Structure 1
């Protein structure tokens, strides 16, 4: 599966800063590390490479920008993608996501 295509499809109507100032942003896309920690809940995308969202499971849980090409470059043995898109994820308000995911 091509992560970039899936991110672009799910966030096509949500450019960077489109949810700025919103107290409870909507998460539209979930990426996860298939072999370890790290989950990215994306709210916005520039249509090229940079997405914005909430990351959890790494050093610290935080909001910030992420490069999709950088995530795509992470491969196990140089071939198997480490980062995958949750194809069953449905958009959800961040406050409800926190309750659902339990962090």
Structure 2
């Protein structure tokens, strides 16, 4: 699986360029939404990325290696892509991931919830209409 599509690469680079521009102009740094979610299909490790460095490898975002201790920081795309899991599996990109929440909200929620996956559940419930996660009644 390709972990970084061209349009995602562009969005990640744009976020990094915007952050550097804000810093050099002594403005408040932007708080972008994560545009990439990577995960271990056999475990709880999850990465949410908002930026990609000039080197094309260094991502910035929220990382949780599966211990329920999410941290903001930098991580390597090539290292993540190089992880080999049992049964020939690899780290995957969440194909359906979209977020309306900035990275700071993800980080705060994950610190309270434990893992990033717990934060995802809480955040998605916060924006879902009441009863959206209930199964419809059969019959009728």
Give the TM-score band, short-chain normalised. Answer: 0.7 to 0.9
TM-score (norm 2): 0.57
Bigger Rg, which one: 2
Q: 1:27, 1:91 within 8 Å by CA — same for their partners in 2?
A: yes
Q: Give me the whole-angstrom Cα distance separating, in 1, the residues matched to 2:92 and 2:77.
A: 11
Higher relative contact order (CA 8 A, sep 6+): 1
- From 9, 12, 21, the equivalent of 2:10 is 12
Equivalent pairs counted in the alignment come to 99
In structure 2, what is the equivalent of residue 49 of structure 1?
57
Distance 1:53 1:17, change over 3 A: farther
Supply the RMSD in Å over aligned alpha carbons: 2.8
C-alpha contact (below 8 Å) 2:37/2:94 kept by paired residues: yes
TM-fit CA distance, 1:56: 2.5
Unmatched runs of 5 consecutive residues or more in structure 2: 21-28, 110-118, 124-140
Q: Give the secondary-structure state (helix, strand or coil) at the position aligned to 2:37.
A: strand
Unaligned runs of at least 5 residues, structure 1: none
